Structure 1
Amino acid sequence: MAFINYKSMPAELGTHDVTEVQYKSDDFIVRGLLVTPRKSVNRIVVYLRGGKGQVGRVRLARLLQFANDTTLVFAPYYRGNNGSQGHDAFGGADLQDVIAGVTILKALYPDVSVHLIGFSRGGIQGLLTYQDVQATSYIIWGGVTDIKLMYEERVDLRGMLRRMVGHPKKHLSAYEQRDALRLIDDTTPPILIIHGGLDTQVGIHQAYHLEAHLAEHQANYDTFYQMSEGHVPRPRAMAEVLERIRIWMDNIENRNVIKERH
């Protein structure tokens, strides 16, 4: 597998090249945004967007939050979005768009740590894929952890969920397939949970729900709760989140180096 097309984007960064890539996922050609350092690649961050369609679309400014001189950042658009073929499936077949993209990156940059970051709707996308791609760690940020819980609390999104997933009672198997927690035990890669206490788009009980499961199964995880913040932190709180993510990735990678030496 490989990226089959690169389109340079109008961004003069000096340190990174910004390209829109196309790649094969199932029978579709899908797209994603790639930010590649001009120096060596020592870390890969895969950002899993939230929302649907133009809401929550992948933006360069978001990816640059995770970039440094040796960090590559990639964000799949998901099928059916921004020129990608197919139809968005909200944690269904579109998961392959994540898996295929990460598989290509791991082939291009073997032995480089890969961290997934799932924001909002991207939370469930990451929970259902980070083990398949053998991620170094997974950061779930303001993320959905349970689609059924989302259906219950977001009355305004029920119509969209019925169209894309189905009704929780009439299409129970579709919701069971999107139940990520059943796949997580003590062998899972490390998880960092980030959430705002005033989040009204994805309630913090979604984070608590995941935390309780991880604790029960003695998985490797940590939490960073900002109880005075909403879905998107304010500037000072945002800086704290980004620093916490950086420290988390550094610590996980350093632990892995120590394990390898022993």
Structure 2
Amino acid sequence: MNMNNGKILEYTRFPSPNPRVELTVITYLSNGLRVKGMLAAPLGNEPLDGFLYLRGGIKNVGKVRPARIAQFAAEGFIVFAPFYRGNQGGEGNEDFAGEDREDAFSAYLLLKSLARVRDIHIFGFSRGGVMALMTAIQFPETASVVTWGGVSDMVLTYRERKDLRRMMKRVIGGTPEKFPERYRERTPLFEMEKLVPPVLIIHGVKDHNVSVEHGYRLESRLRSLEKPVECWYFEEYTHYFPPVVNRKVVEDLSKWMKNQSKRW
């Protein structure tokens, strides 16, 4: 890993939807690339836990939403959400949990370098689920991991999402049959024995974007290894929860994270 990973190069203030939360677009280094992300920090100087927000999608699908990360910051976290390489003015090309995992690792180091940040929690939504698990494996001191509607198995994504196959073949370089190792290295299920922090799995049972089978496979693997895992399955919801429920789950998962922290 490059010694300069996570180094902050530029700050640009960004209009915030919450007057008590400051938003900043940050350019930072990730293996020599200038990558961008957004920081959301509650006003003040008091130390708070860090929250690494790993988005889903690819390119313009699933972009980081300022209101969403401000929502988590309002729960009492300093939130950083990398855009991943090649997005919103960043250098390089996004790699769908390949080399762009380095952008998540470097974002973790960036958070760690901030004076106000104490323990760091990792959150992944959708494709961000695999990024979150990979980052937690890389940094065993992580306080907790939450995966919400998260991908855990890249081959399963290829099988289920016919609409994503062309993109996956282009970005990953072929099919799971032709390049099983490329899909395996993007599937952290095979490395769960290296995972240290507790995991919370949140998944809608009617999710058609990332089937609940991803949650079940992750849960099964963690339980087989006797790793700490909690699961919140919602029978009636899809990939996206209604706003009122969503707000409640954000509050609940924030409390869960703080309960895992070493300092609360």
Superposition TM-score, scaled by structure 1 size: 0.93
- The residue type paired with residue 253 of structure 2 is I
In structure 1, how many angstroms separate the alpha carbons of the residues matched to 2:194 and 2:112? 24
Q: 1:222 aligns with which of 230, 238, 242?
A: 230
Q: 1:131 aligns with which of 122, 131, 137?
A: 137
In structure 1, how many angstroms separate the alpha carbons of the residues matched to 2:149 and 2:224? 21
In structure 2, how many angstroms separate the alpha carbons of the residues matched to 1:12 and 1:207? 32
Q: Mind listing any 5+ residue stretches in structure 2 that lack a counterpart?
A: none
Alignment of 1:194-213 (within 5 A): 194-213=202-221
The equivalent of 2:167 in structure 1 is 160
The equivalent of 2:243 in structure 1 is 235
Residues 41, 72 of structure 1: 8 Å contact kept:
no
Alignment of 1:1-262 (within 5 A): 1=4, 2-11=7-16, 13-39=18-44, 40-68=46-74, 70-109=76-115, 112-133=118-139, 134-165=141-172, 166-185=174-193, 188-253=196-261, 256-257=262-263
Residues 17, 67 of structure 2: 8 Å contact kept:
no
Q: How many residues align?
A: 256
- The residue type paired with residue 25 of structure 2 is E
- The residue type paired with residue 146 of structure 1 is D
- SS state at 1:144 partner: coil
In structure 1, how many angstroms separate the alpha carbons of the residues matched to 2:111 and 2:50? 8
In structure 1, how many angstroms separate the alpha carbons of the residues matched to 2:110 and 2:67? 23
Shift of 1:257: 4.2
Shift of 1:12: 6.3
In structure 2, how many angstroms separate the alpha carbons of the residues matched to 1:193 and 1:170? 31
- SS state at 1:11 partner: coil
In structure 2, how many angstroms separate the alpha carbons of the residues matched to 1:187 and 1:162? 29
**Cα root mean square deviation, aligned:** 1.7
- SS state at 1:130 partner: helix
In structure 1, how many angstroms separate the alpha carbons of the residues matched to 2:204 and 2:77? 26
- The residue type paired with residue 157 of structure 1 is L
Using a 3 Å threshold, how does the CA distance of structure 1 residues 204 and 69 change in structure 2: closer, same or farther?
Answer: closer
Superposition TM-score, scaled by structure 2 size: 0.92
- SS state at 2:137 partner: coil
Structure 1 consecutive aligned stretches of length 4 or more whose deviation exceeds 3 Å: none
- Share of identical aligned residues, percent? 36
In structure 2, how many angstroms separate the alpha carbons of the residues matched to 1:64 and 1:10? 11
- The residue type paired with residue 190 of structure 2 is R
Q: Mind listing any 5+ residue stretches in structure 1 that lack a counterpart?
A: none
Residues 139, 192 of structure 1: 8 Å contact kept:
yes
Residues 51, 122 of structure 2: 8 Å contact kept:
yes
Residues 41, 71 of structure 1: 8 Å contact kept:
no
In structure 2, how many angstroms separate the alpha carbons of the residues matched to 1:239 and 1:142? 15
Describe the superposition over 1:147-186 as per-residue Cα deviations: whole angstroms up to 9, x where unpaired. Answer: 0011011111111110111211111221121120121128
